[in-house]
Structure formats: structure tokens, C-alpha cells
Amino acid sequence: MKGSRPLRNGVREARVRLGLSQQELARAAGVTRQTIGGIEAGLYQPSVAVAMRIARVLGAGVEDLFWLEDEVPRVEAVMALPPARPASGRVSLARVGGRWVAYPLGGERAFRTEVVPVDGLVEEGEEAGGEGRVAVRLVGGDVEDLERGVVIAGCSPALGLWAREAERRHPGLRVQWLHANSTQALEMLAKRLVHVAGVHLRDPATGEYNVSFVRRALPGRAVSLIHLGTWREGLAVWPGNPKGLRGAADLARPGVRVVNRERGAGARALLEEALRAAGVPGETVQGLDRVVFSHQEVAREVARGAADAGVVPAAVAAAYALDFVPLQEARFDVAIPDEWLTLEPVRQLLATLSLRALRRQLELAGGFTTERTGELVARVVA
């Protein structure tokens, strides 16, 4: 009918979430695969009976799967990062510090070990008040569900373990892990773009971990540093260590190639400090200017023979079946502004640190020593 409002649906999202093919859903709902395809493409509006059967198979209410276009909720959000290129408009969302934050999902940002669910679509050609704000149309969810989210920025893959365990223990809790080095994580925390920052930065002047960096990054705010674990950091080398590398001094030998991390990464700071302590000028080390952006990328470069050594945690070297030359034990903490410690999603996330099952996973897969996991190690008040 002319002037009628288009009917939208979330059938495809619900079907994919349950791991069903179009054919499987069609068979269970008593319709043809073409009917399901037409509904998902917006080419066919189902009858009430068909809609009810589909909803029953998908374990959802009819109104959760079908809605009128102008009923789709919208929110105003701040973009946490520049959009990926090419920009897709797809974002995930979280409520941080009283405002919505949108995290672009494009390129590698759209993946962890699985596709990151899309929470909304940025409305093209619409602005929402300047300062990088955008209008976002929600996809297949509601505001109340999204407000149960907490966002962690950091570089350790163990943060992903923590996120999944917290979601498993607290149904409805949403935990997003954004990969960022320690400096980037603190910058995002200071800008109120995330709730939690993972940090492993050592002050070479004092030997103290994390406190001075948090104080500088978040002046005027009270921040709690909670211990996640202690891990060994060192050089990942080819199995059998054919170059016979024993420490930073050996990296200046002819024929030895390293791979480095970006500025602001704790691994890069460790390598630079180790070279200074060994009296090795950086210009004598081949590959020091070759930069990758994660512990996993460092290990991959060594594993495929493109580099002879790079700084990673011991657990990452083990995951790639590489040998490991230890350089130091590092304290990995998570920084959380005190103003957010009373938020229910943050409280639920922190509560999981006392779980024996999580600590075991942090030890086995994350490579952490967990005797002090969950302990408040410092309260930083700038």
C-alpha cells in the first residue's frame, strides 16, 4: 500500500546466531527455502502464521524478529577510532561514561576468533552534534541489552579468555575486547572510550610497573590497578635456537634479523631497554625498524622465517611452537577509573577474577602466574 511503512526483520541475524542454514530454518518452519530468502532480503512480507512459526523455531518473539522501519531505535554515539577503509558503516556499541561509543567493524577489526556481532549501522549523511558524533541505527537489539556491556582495551590474548568466561558466568553481560598496546589502551581510557585498560609498562628509572604511566595518562582521576597476572617476556626464536641467541647483546650479530613492535607497546619498550642495558646501539640491529602490531604478528614473522627474533610473552611463543629466551617477568594489570567500579557490568567482570576455572585458563593459555590475580595492587590518585 502506498505510504505504508516498510516491514524490517532480523531473521537472518537470529538464524546465523543459531548456526542454521536457510534450508534448515525453512524445513523446521514448514516453508520453502525461497520463502526464507525472500523474507531475509525484504522482498516478501510473511503472514502472521508464517512469522509465528519462524519465531518459534528461532526461539524469539514475533516482535523481536519483525518491526516497522520507524520503530528501529537510534542512538547518538562517539566514534572511538577512525573508520576502517573501505568504510562499511558497521559498528559495535557500548555505553561508556554516560555516552554511547561506536567501534568500527571493518577489515581485521571485524574479527577475533569469530566474527564480531554488528550492533548498528552508521547513518550516511547524518551528523549528531559534532565532535566525531554519528547517528547509529541499531540492528537486532535494544538499548537495555547494549547497556550491559563493558569494553576492555589491551594487547594480551588472555583478555579474550577473561571476556568469554565473564559472559559465560553472567548471562546477558557483553564484554568487548579491543586490541591495543598499553599506551593506546590508556589513551582510550583517558578519553572515556573504554571502561578498562590492560597495561604492562615498566618505568626504567624506578623499576615500577604501570603506576606512573596511569598517573600521567589520567590526571585528576582516581584509578584502581587490579592485577591480572605476571608473565614472562622475552625473545621468540626458531625451534632449536639455531642462531644461538642468549640475550639482547646477540641481536647485533651479523645475520640476525629482528622484528619490532609499534611505539607505545610494552614489548618495544622492553627491547629498547634491554639493548641499552647491553650497550647495543639500535642502528646496529638489523630489522629494528620493521614494525608489526601484535604479539601474534611477531611470533608469525619468526615462525615463517622472516625474522630470527622478536619480543613476545612466553605463552605466545609456545602457541607457535617457538623457543623462548626470557628477558624479564612483567606485571600485567588492568586500570579502571574508580567512578566505574560500581557499574554492574564492571562488577560482574571483576567478580570472575576469583574463579578457579578462569585462573587455570590464564595459566594454561595466557601464560600468567595467578597467585595475585584479582588483587588491588595500587590506587592511583593524580
> What pLDDT, in 10s, does the model give residues 278-313?
999 999 999 999 999 989 899 999 999 999 999 999
For the chain, what is the mean pLDDT?
Answer: 88
Question: What pLDDT was estimated at residue 118?
Answer: 87
Q: Which residue, among 167, 188, 170, has the nearest Cα to 179 in the 3D structure? A: 188
Q: Please say whether the beta carbons of 306 and 192 come within 8 A.
A: no
Q: Which residue has the cell 609498562?
A: 201
Helix (H) or strand (E) holding 268: helix 266-277
Peptide bond into 281 cis (omega under 30): no
Q: How far apart (Å, rounded) are the C-alpha atoms in residues 175 and 338?
A: 19
**Average pLDDT value for residue range 129-154:** 84
Residue 2: what pLDDT? 41
Q: Which three cell numbers stand for residue 338?
A: 574508580
Least confident range from 104-113, 258-267, 288-297, 324-333: namely: 104-113
- Hey, what's the cell of 78? 562517539
pTM confidence score: 0.69
Q: Give 71's pLDDT tier (boundaries 50, 70, 90).
A: low
User: CB neighbours of 269 closer than 8 A, spacing ≥ 6?
Assistant: 201, 202, 204
The C-alpha R_g of the chain, in whole angstroms, comes to 24
CA dist., res. 310 & res. 354, Å (int): 33
* C-alpha cell recorded at residue 176: 568487548
Q: Which of 56-70, 136-150, 325-339 has the highest mean pLDDT?
A: 325-339
Q: Which amino acid is at 80?
A: A
More confident residue, 18 or 174: 174
Going from the N-terminus, what domains does the chain have, and what CATH number goes with each? 7-69 (1.10.260.40), 72-147 (no CATH), 148-382 (3.40.190.290)
Percent of the chain topping pLDDT 70: 91
Of 95, 280, 117, whose CA–CA distance to 195 is shortest? 95
pLDDT digits (tens, 9 = 90+) for 13-36: 788 878 889 999 999 999 999 999
Distance CA 228, CA 23 (A): 45
> How does residue 59 score in pLDDT terms, banded at 50, 70 and 90?
confident
Q: Taking a C-beta distance cutoff of 8 angstroms, is the pair 377, 225 a contact?
A: yes
Mean pLDDT value across residues 260-280: 94
**In terms of C-beta density within 10 A (0-12 exposed, 13-18 middle, 19 or more buried), how is residue 282 classed?**
middle
- Residue 138 grid cell: 541499531
Q: What is the pLDDT of residues 97-126, one digit of tens each?
A: 889 999 887 655 554 556 778 899 888 755
Residue 249 backbone dihedrals phi, psi, to 5 degrees: -60, -30
* Lowest mean pLDDT, pick from 155-159, 172-176, 249-253, 279-283: 155-159
pLDDT of 111 reads 43
pLDDT at 84 over 70: no
